[in-house]
Structure 1
C-alpha cells in the first residue's frame, strides 16, 4: 500500500510511524508545507493515560517523549491578590518543536519519506492508495470537498492568544486579573526546563476596552506582562517562536458530517477540533492515528477500514467534545463564578466539564459536590471495612443521634 500523509504535525507523523511498524514494506510519505524545524507554537499538554498508550504502540518514541517532558501534579489559581493551590492528576508538558522532532526522527528511522516545503494543492493531490488529510483546521483537501464532508465551523465568543514565557511554572497555573474593563485571565504550564506556555483569554468587551484590538505586538505584550506581573516574576512574554507574531483569535470548533471520501480520510484537526481549555488537542490527534492504523490492520478493504475508523472515533470523541463545549462556556461565563471564595471558584473550575453546572447556582453546586465527595469516601470506607463493621458504624451513628 502506498500512503501519503498531507501535514507533518503529530497526527500525520505518528500515523506514518505506526503504518511502517505494522508493515515495513508500505510506501509512506509525509508532505509538510513548512520547512523542517519551523514548527509554530510553544508547548502541548498531555496526561499519563496517553503516555501509557504511546508506550503500548511504540515504546521507542514514547520513551523519548517522556524523557523530554516536564511534569506537575498541582494546580495554582491566583485571583486578585489571593492564591489557592490544589493537588491534581499528573500532567505533562513538552515543546511542540521538540515533540515534532522526536516523531520526525523516529519516522525517518523506519523508512518514512519526509518531504518538507512540499505544498500539496487540491488540484494536484498526491497519487497514493490512501491520502490522509492531516493538515489542520484549514485543510486544503477537505476544503476542496467541503460540501461532501459537511464542514461546520462555530466561532467562540472570547478572544485568546497563545504565548510563551521564560518563566518556568512548577504547577498548572491560572491567573485571573480584574481590570476596569472586565476580567482577563491566563493559564500557564511548563513545556521545557527553560520555557512555559501561557494562554491569555478575555471577553470581547475586555479585549476592546483594554485596547488590545488596536495595539501592535510590542504594545500588547507589554500590557499583558504588566497585567500578569504577579505570576511572571519579571519574565517576558513571547509571540510564536517561528514568526514572532502573536495573533489574537477566537476559537473555532470544527465538525464534519463524514470523515472520508473515496481514498481520502481526515485526521486530527482536519476532522475535528476541541476547545484548547481542556488541553486535549494533541492527545486526540495521536489517538486518531492509533485508531486509523488499527482499522487498516484489522480490515482487508480500504472502504471498510475507513468506515470503521470514523465510526469508532466519533463514538470515542463524544465525551471530550462535550467536556470542551462546557469548558468554553465556563470561561465565557466567568463572572458567574469569579466572586466565589478562591478555593470554591477553583473547585468549580475543575468541575467546568459538568453539564449540570450551568443550571445550578454555583454555591449550591459546590455544596452538593462536597457532600457527594464525602458520601463517596464513606462508601469506600464501608467497602473496605466489610458489612459487619459497616453495620456497627451505622448502629453507633443512629444511637448517637438518639
Structure 2
C-alpha cells in the first residue's frame, strides 16, 4: 500500500531510507527536507568497513557499487609517538568524502523519484504524512519538540576535539601523539580521496587551555597544530571550516525512538564517539533496519517497535565500545609511555571493559598469551580430530 513519507534531514540516514522505501514500492510518496543548501555539508571524509558494503549490496547493489568506486582504502595502521613509529596490518578500511557520499545518495534518490527539498527545515510533523522521519541530526528540531516522550539524554565528554582536513594523503589510518609542556595532543588521520584526508585533533582540557587554543582565532590555532604535527603532515597544511571550531563530544541517547508516526533515525536517535569511526555506518544501518521493518510489518506501530527493539539491541555493544574508547583517550597518560608497539596494541584494545582496571603491562601480556592460545586452538581445528588425538598421545608419552 502506498504511503506518504516525510523525512527531515538529507544526510546519509534520511537519503538511504528514502532510496530503500522507493525501491520497495515506487508508488510511495517520499519527500526529504534538508535545512542546508544543496552541496553544502559539514565534515571531511568518513570511514567504514567491508561489512557495510556487504549490507548495502543486499539492499541496493547500485548504491553499494557507487560508494565503493568513490572510496579509497587502506589496511595498515600507523602510530607515531615522539620520534618512534610502529605500523601494523589490520582489516581493510574505506574512506569517502562526506560531500561525495551525499551526492551519490541524492542522485540515486532522485533517479527513483524521491523529492529532495533543500533549504527547507521541518520544525513540526506535517499533518498529512503517514510516516515522519526525524533524521535531522543531534540537534533534531522534531525530536526536541517531544524530548520528554523520547527520554533524550546528552552526556558531554571531557576532551576537546576539532574536525579538520588536509591535503596530506595518508596511506594508512594514522595516529600521531605529540608531547607539549602542557600535556599530550593527538590526531587521527585517514585519506578519503586522492587529494585529501581527514584529520581529527583531540586533547585534554588542561592541554587545550595550556596551549592557548581556547583564546586563538582559527588561523592562529591551525598554525599551532601544523607545527605540532609537522612530522606527519610533510609540509601540508590543515584546513578548517568557517564556524566549526573546537567541541566536546556529546553522547546522545533516547529511551524510545518513536512517538505516534514520528520515528528517529541516525544522530537524532543516538551518537557514538568519533574514535570508533562508526557514525555513518550506524546511520545507514538504521535506515536499512527501518526499511526492513516497514516491509515486514504492515502495521506502522508494529514496524516502528520492531525497528526500535532491534537497533537498541544491536547498538549495545557499539555504544559500550565507544564509551571505553573515549575513556582510553581521556586517560592517555596511563598508556603513552609504553613501548610504541605495546601502546599501539592497547590502542587496538581500547574498547575492552577490562583494560581500565588492569595494569597496562599486565593486560598486554595477558592479551598476547590469549592470542597465542587462539592460534593453538585454530591449529587444532585445522589438523582435525585424528591429528589432535595423535598430538595428545605424544604429549602424554613424554
Q: TM-score range by the shorter chain?
A: over 0.9
Separation of aligned partners in 2, 1:43 and 1:302:
35
Shift of 1:395: 4.8
**Corresponding residue pairs, total:** 396
Partner of 1:272: 270
Shift of 1:393: 3.2
Partner of 1:33: 35
For structure 2, which runs of at least 5 residues remain unmatched after alignment? none
Matched, 1:284 2:286: no
Partner of 2:100: 98
TM-score normalised according to structure 1 size: 0.97
Q: In the TM superposition, what are the counterparts of 1:48-59 in structure 2 within 5 Å?
A: 48-59=50-61
Shift of 1:86: 0.3
Partner of 2:303: 305
Whether the 8 Å CA contact 1:217–1:246 is kept in 2: the answer is no
Shift of 1:394: 4.1
Shift of 1:388: 3.4
Partner of 1:74: 76
SS at match of 1:157: strand
Shift of 1:384: 1.3
Shift of 1:214: 0.3
Partner of 2:359: 361
Matched, 1:327 2:328: no
Shift of 1:399: 6.0
SS at match of 2:213: coil
Q: In the TM superposition, what are the counterparts of 1:142-291 in structure 2 within 5 Å?
A: 142-240=143-241, 244-291=242-289
Separation of aligned partners in 1, 2:231 and 2:214:
24
Shift of 1:21: 0.1
Separation of aligned partners in 1, 2:361 and 2:262:
50
Whether the 8 Å CA contact 1:94–1:191 is kept in 2: the answer is yes
Return 193-202 or 384-393, whichever deviates more.
384-393
Residues 1:170 and 1:197: Cα distance change in structure 2 (over 3 Å) = same
Separation of aligned partners in 1, 2:86 and 2:187:
15
Partner of 1:113: 115
Residues 1:27 and 1:178: Cα distance change in structure 2 (over 3 Å) = same
Shift of 1:120: 1.5
Partner of 2:372: 374
Separation of aligned partners in 2, 1:90 and 1:357:
25
Return 381-390 or 142-151, whichever deviates more.
381-390
Whether the 8 Å CA contact 1:186–1:200 is kept in 2: the answer is yes
Partner of 2:13: 11
Shift of 1:245: 3.6
For structure 1, which runs of at least 5 residues remain unmatched after alignment? none
| 1:233-262 Cα shifts (integer Å, max 9, x gaps) | 00010012xxx3441000000001111111
Separation of aligned partners in 2, 1:398 and 1:180:
59
Matched, 1:348 2:338: no
Separation of aligned partners in 1, 2:273 and 2:323:
7
Separation of aligned partners in 2, 1:155 and 1:339:
28
Whether the 8 Å CA contact 1:4–1:126 is kept in 2: the answer is no
SS at match of 2:247: coil
SS at match of 1:109: helix
Whether the 8 Å CA contact 1:72–1:171 is kept in 2: the answer is yes
TM-score normalised according to structure 2 size: 0.98
Whether the 8 Å CA contact 1:163–1:246 is kept in 2: the answer is no
Shift of 1:125: 4.0
| 1:101-160 Cα shifts (integer Å, max 9, x gaps) | 0000000000000000002223x6463110000000000010011111111000000000
Separation of aligned partners in 2, 1:142 and 1:203:
31
